[in-house]
Structure 1
Amino acid sequence: MPKPSRISPRYPEANTIHLVLDNLSTHSRHALEVRYGVRAGRRLWLRFTLHYTPVHGSWLNQAEVEISLLSRQCLGKRRIPTLDKLRCETQAWQKWANRHRIRIRWRFTVPKARAKFHYQPTDFTRS
């Protein structure tokens, strides 16, 4: 979980703060209570409304796709000698990709997803 003790004070007037998280086990009330103590952890937990990403389609998968594209299209097999040069190269690639509106063509269709995850429609899902 992002540092709740840093997020919460930024929004003092908010009754609840919405967070989108993956399904990591550290994203729980128990983890906050262990880290900050039972009272402080519970108080932090009550400030947040958590929205978990789907296990099979999380933002992490999207980030991995982006990093893979960056690696193949921008860096290739080159060794970048300095961090400054790496920043320059990746920023130039990002500008190029945005300017050309590079998109990912998903080939995982609904029928393929249903087959992969052994989807069986129930009576109330058929219409």
Structure 2
Amino acid sequence: MAAMEDVLDVYHRPYDEKRPLVCLDEASKQLLGEVIQPIPAAPGQPGRFDYESVRNGTANLSMISEPLLGWRAVKVTERRTAVDFAEVVRWLVEEVHAEAEKVVLVMDNLNTHKLASLYEAFPPEQARRIAERLEIHHTPKHGSWLNMAEIELSVLARQCLDRRIESPEELRREVEAWEEDRNERGVEVEWQFTTADARIKLHRLYPTTQ
């Protein structure tokens, strides 16, 4: 409960450009190629695809969401490693928010989502500089629904990833187009669940006291 209330309190802070709120989550996408060339759509006839496909491995999607600004970015990598995670965090701290005092980062407890990952990727001096610029809040175990980046990943899956994508290059093109459109429209996540709501609706999860 402590981790949940901590994240909920963070979500209800007013926007502060010196301490921007960033939510981060990751998902994988199976890359599938065609066995038989699809038949394009024609007037009165939908396109036709063979049910068989070729597995071309998977790609990792790192969703970076700034819900208070209606901005998001998606990084596509071949793997989900500590070094890949560290590079995303470096990019946030050193490039996207180079002028911020702290980046307030909400994410889950995945084993790579640790400060130790920075030391696997960068020299100790740089790793420490990045770490000192972070204010980290982890969602509780089995509480990934508290991460607003997960909402963005769900929208991405429905609007962009619900079809066969053959290669990392094609995936990047599709994701970049989705990202650009959603950012241009400034789509925000309207988060309304509060700590007070949690104490009422999830009261059975709280420990009882005598």
Return the TM-score normalized by structure 2.
Answer: 0.33
Q: CA deviation at 1:4?
A: 2.0
Task: Give yes or no for the alignment of 1:3 onto 2:118.
Answer: yes
Q: Distance in 2 between matches of 1:11 and 1:107?
A: 35
Q: Distance in 2 between matches of 1:3 and 1:54?
A: 17
The aligned residue for residue 28 of structure 1 is: none
Q: CA deviation at 1:9?
A: 2.4
Residue pairs, 1:71-110, within 5 angstroms: 71-76=157-162, 78-110=163-195
1:86–1:11: structure 2 CA closer, same or farther, 3 Å change rule? closer
Please tell me the residue identity of whatever aligns with 1:102.
V
Contact 2:160 2:174 in 1 (8 A): yes
Q: CA deviation at 1:111?
A: 3.6
Q: Secondary structure at the match of 2:132?
A: strand
Q: Higher RCO, 1 or 2 (CA under 8 Å, sep at least 6)? A: 2
Q: Distance in 2 between matches of 1:106 and 1:98?
A: 18
1:80–1:54: structure 2 CA closer, same or farther, 3 Å change rule? closer
Q: Secondary structure at the match of 1:112?
A: helix
Q: CA deviation at 1:110?
A: 4.5
Q: Distance in 2 between matches of 1:95 and 1:105?
A: 20
Q: CA deviation at 1:108?
A: 1.9
Query: What is the number of equivalent residue pairs in this alignment?
Result: 86
The aligned residue for residue 55 of structure 1 is: 139
Looking at CA atoms only, which structure, 1 or 2, has the larger radius of gyration? 1
Question: What are the Cα deviations for residues 85-124 of structure 1, in whole angstroms up to 9, with x where unaligned?
Answer: 11100000000000001111224245422213437xxxxx
More helix by share: 1
Please tell me the residue identity of whatever aligns with 2:177.
A
The aligned residue for residue 132 of structure 2 is: 18
RMSD: 3.4
The aligned residue for residue 33 of structure 1 is: none
Runs of 4+ in 1 over 6 A off after TM superposition: none
Unaligned runs of 5+ in 2: 1-113
Unaligned runs of 5+ in 1: 21-50, 120-127
Q: Distance in 2 between matches of 1:17 and 1:84?
A: 31
Question: What are the Cα deviations for residues 23-52 of structure 1, in whole angstroms up to 9, with x where unaligned?
Answer: xxxxxxxxxxxxxxxxxxxxxxxxxxxx44
